[in-house]
Amino acid sequence: MVYTICYISSESSDLKENQLEEVFSTTKINNGSEDITGMLLYYYGNFLQVLEGEKETLLNLFENIKKDKRHKNIITIFNKQNEHRIFEGYKSGFSIIKTKSDLKNLKKYLNKTKDTTPFSKSILSLLEPFLI
């Protein structure tokens, strides 16, 4: 079993390009060292994040993330135990999705895994608004 958190949020209105890059790099570095897999998607001012890992680690991290002033309107979609990780086999475990081609590759991966992991299907449906 693995703990999984998934939420959407929107960036704070005054977020600059370099501040965004800072969020991405902190996320990539910290999550790599905490054995957290998943993804952080940024698209036209909105975030969609999936975090997979050890329960205590994720709950503490999520408390931190929720307090972060760089985003707002956080809506939790999934916050519970899951059968297994779905992002373990994707890229280096934790991905930043910010281009159309990142999104296309992610969609391809989730489509491949959706028969064995129902959660992939849920994430695919969450991605739909971003795929237009």
Ligand X SMILES: Cc1cc2nc3c(=O)[nH]c(=O)nc-3n(C[C@H](O)[C@H](O)[C@H](O)COP(=O)(O)O)c2cc1C
Residue tagged 């890992």 (tokens): 53
Residue whose C-beta lies closest to ligand X = 30
Show the CA angle centred on residue 44, arms to residues 92 and 35, nearest 5°.
20
Is 30 a residue that touches ligand X (CB under 6 A)? yes
Is 64 a residue that touches ligand X (CB under 6 A)? yes
Query: Which window, 26-34, 97-105, 110-118, 124-132, contacts ligand X (CB under 6 A)?
Result: 26-34
Is 4 a residue that touches ligand X (CB under 6 A)? no
15: phi then psi, degrees, rounded to nearest 5: -75, 125
Is 6 a residue that touches ligand X (CB under 6 A)? no
Instruction: Give every CB contact of residue 87 below 8 A, 6+ residues apart in sequence.
Output: 37, 38, 39, 50, 52, 93, 94, 95
Binding site for ligand X (CB under 6 A): 9, 23, 26-27, 30-31, 40, 47, 49, 51, 61, 64-65, 68, 70-71
